[in-house]
């Protein structure tokens, strides 16, 4: 295959060439690691190569980030917000190119790629406002002539390990908040989408470089066994934000915790849509289809299960099959495409194995069930047929997350049965219910309903807005990113007591000496 780096104008626009460096510490470094190839999951075509970072280059990136952090933390937060505003505008100016890069390298359809870049823009805007709202509290002191308050201070260099499925937005969720909080960033992207990280870094680094803070946008592309493990063990990184599988997340937590580091863990999801018999089916169908088929089922919030009332299950399945028959599979750059490729051949194999396991357990495949036959350039792509299967909730295969467009239909008897089955999986990220019954709706999002970090009513499981805190419970990890008060994890809390009296009373009325 020939390199396509010169065949797409948007790659040149983002500073991506046939050969690229995998480390940035205020300047692109001459890396000495192994060569990494980036290939299109839609065609198998070589896009470009990246010379990966080694432990030596990693150390240089961290050292530069730490040095810039020590100066950056002294900049007033609103002034940091002004620089983040400029970064957001730079991303806005390159939205089309960045969205196309996501579609090319990750395989997400162009509309979703553009939507992901918009998330990065939105969180930048959110962070600008946040830079004037890093509030602490004032508390009444029990001692006369004393004042108590708390302040939030910058934390340090934040390590951010991102997954292939959101190769830009998750960095922005972390990075823009970290920057206004006064932190530096060290980004290790997925080895499956390194060009997305290089492209985004090239967009934002000129803004930081102009201010003398280029190393705040540290980047290392390298293997997990070398660079990744070094990050987890590095005491200079007080916070590690990790997005990926539950199994690797366990290892991340086990490695970071002994050095008393913090973690944000965004791990697996097994997200369900509950459809009660009084639901608006016309609304439920497109929500389910987008949740299950969008990003080829490779979102952590993708809809994996539909828990439908037994009285309407057959009708729902019939409508879903009609909708699935209209899903166009193909090149993600094509505006008509609704389902692009899976990220790799191993992802295809995992889906096929799950389908076989469903069959062995006695499940019924309603549609799909195999590899999609493609023609032309896409013949070498990782395309599968979006699949629907009727199953039982307790089966092992249903209890696991299969990162692909594989949707399980499970019947329920009533709201009690729906909530019990919904919660009876190890994961706890996103959930939703379709119902016109306010009692069922409120119960589902109450403390006795969904056990997920996200619970929706009459919308799907996928497509969270940046204003709310994003994350889940149980094997999803328990971390929170993006909106609400998620910023607090990027800072350290300090309690202050000021004595403005001319006496020295002790707390709790203690008399001493």
User: Which amino acids are annotated catalytic?
Assistant: 266, 300
Residue 10 to residues 48, 97, 99, 495, Cα–Cα distance (Å): 13, 5, 10, 49
Helix/strand/coil percent split, the chain, to 5: 40, 20, 40
CA distance 221 to 37: 12
CA distance 224 to 232: 10
Give the CA radius of gyration of the chain.
Answer: 24
Alpha helices in 362-456 (DSSP H): 396-399, 415-423, 438-444
Q: Are 62 and 237 in contact (CB under 8 A)?
A: yes
CA distance 442 to 165: 32
Instruction: List the structure tokens of 485.
Output: 């008060």
Taking the CA of residue 42 as centre, how many other CA atoms within 13 Å lie in the half-sphere pointing to its CB? Answer: 24
CA distance 152 to 87: 24
Q: Are 95 and 114 in contact (CB under 8 A)?
A: yes
Q: How far apart are the first and last CA of the chain?
A: 83
One-character DSSP codes across 59-116: HHHHHHHHHHHHHHTTS-HHHHHHHHHHHHHHHHHTHHHHHHHHHHHT---HHHHHHH
CA distance 454 to 440: 16
Sign (positive or negative) of CA dihedral 217, 219, 224, 230: negative
**Helical (H) or strand (E) element with 46:** strand 46-51
Query: Among all chains, which residue has been given the structure tokens 């009708």?
Result: 315
For the chain, count helices (H), then strands (E).
15, 23
Q: Are 116 and 172 in contact (CB under 8 A)?
A: no
Decide the pairing of beta strands 184-188 and 157-161. Answer: parallel
Residue from 209, 188, 246 nearest 83 by CA: 209
Q: What are phi and psi of 481, to 5 degrees?
A: -130, 175
């Amino acid at each position: 295959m020939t390199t396509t780096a010169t065949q797409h104008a948007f790659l040149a626009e983002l500073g991506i060439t046939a050969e690229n460096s995998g480390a940035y510490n205020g300047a692109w470094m001459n890396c000495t690691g192994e060569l990494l190839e980036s290939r299109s999951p839609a065609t198998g075509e070589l896009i470009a190569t990246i010379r990966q970072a080694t432990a030596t280059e990693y150390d240089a990136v961290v050292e530069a980030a730490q040095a810039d952090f020590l100066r950056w933390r002294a900049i007033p937060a609103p002034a940091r917000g002004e620089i983040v505003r400029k970064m957001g505008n730079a991303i806005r100016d390159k939205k089309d190119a960045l969205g196309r890069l996501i579609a090319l390298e990750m395989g997400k359809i162009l509309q979703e790629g553009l939507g992901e870049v918009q998330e990065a823009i939105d969180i930048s805007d959110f962070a600008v406002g946040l830079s004037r709202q890093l509030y602490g509290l004032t508390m009444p002191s029990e001692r006369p002539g004393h004042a108590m308050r708390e302040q939030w201070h910058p934390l340090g260099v934040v390590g951010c390990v991102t997954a292939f499925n959101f190769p830009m937005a998750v960095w922005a969720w972390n990075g823009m908040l970290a920057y206004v909080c006064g932190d530096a960033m060290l980004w290790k992207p997925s080895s499956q989408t390194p060009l997305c990280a290089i492209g985004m870094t090239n967009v934002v680094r000129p803004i930081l470089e102009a201010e003398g803070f280029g190393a705040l946008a540290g980047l290392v592309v390298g293997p997990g066994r070398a660079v990744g493990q070094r990050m987890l063990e590095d005491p200079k990184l007080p916070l590690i934000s990790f997005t990926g599988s539950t199994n690797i997340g366990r290892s991340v937590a086990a490695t970071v915790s002994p050095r008393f580091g913090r973690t944000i863990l965004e791990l697996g999801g097994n997200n369900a849509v509950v459809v009660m018999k009084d639901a608006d089916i016309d609304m439920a169908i497109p929500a389910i289809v987008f949740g299950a088929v969008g990003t080829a089922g490779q979102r952590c919030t993708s809809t994996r299960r539909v828990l439908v009332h037994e009285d309407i299950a057959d009708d729902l399945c019939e409508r879903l099959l009609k909708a699935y028959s209209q899903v166009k599979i193909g090149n993600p750059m094509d505006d008509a495409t609704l389902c692009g490729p899976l990220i790799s051949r191993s992802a295809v194999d995992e889906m096929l194995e799950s389908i076989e396991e469903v069959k062995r357990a006695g499940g019924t495949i309603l549609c799909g069930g195999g590899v999609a036959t493609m023609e032309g350039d896409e013949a070498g792509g990782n395309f599968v047929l979006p699949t629907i299967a009727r199953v039982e909730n307790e089966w092992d295969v249903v209890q696991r997350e299969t990162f692909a467009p594989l949707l399980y239909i499970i019947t329920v008897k009533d709201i009690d049965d729906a909530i019990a089955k919904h919660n009876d999986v190890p994961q706890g990220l996103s959930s939703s219910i379709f119902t016109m019954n306010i009692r069922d709706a409120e119960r589902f999002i109450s403390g006795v309903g969904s056990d997920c970090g996200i619970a929706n009513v009459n919308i799907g499981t996928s497509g969270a807005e940046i204003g709310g805190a994003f994350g889940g419970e149980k094997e999803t990890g328990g971390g929170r990113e993006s909106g609400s008060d998620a910023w607090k994890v990027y800072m350290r809390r300090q309690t202050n007591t000021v004595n403005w009296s001319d006496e020295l009373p002790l707390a709790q009325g203690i008399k001493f000496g």
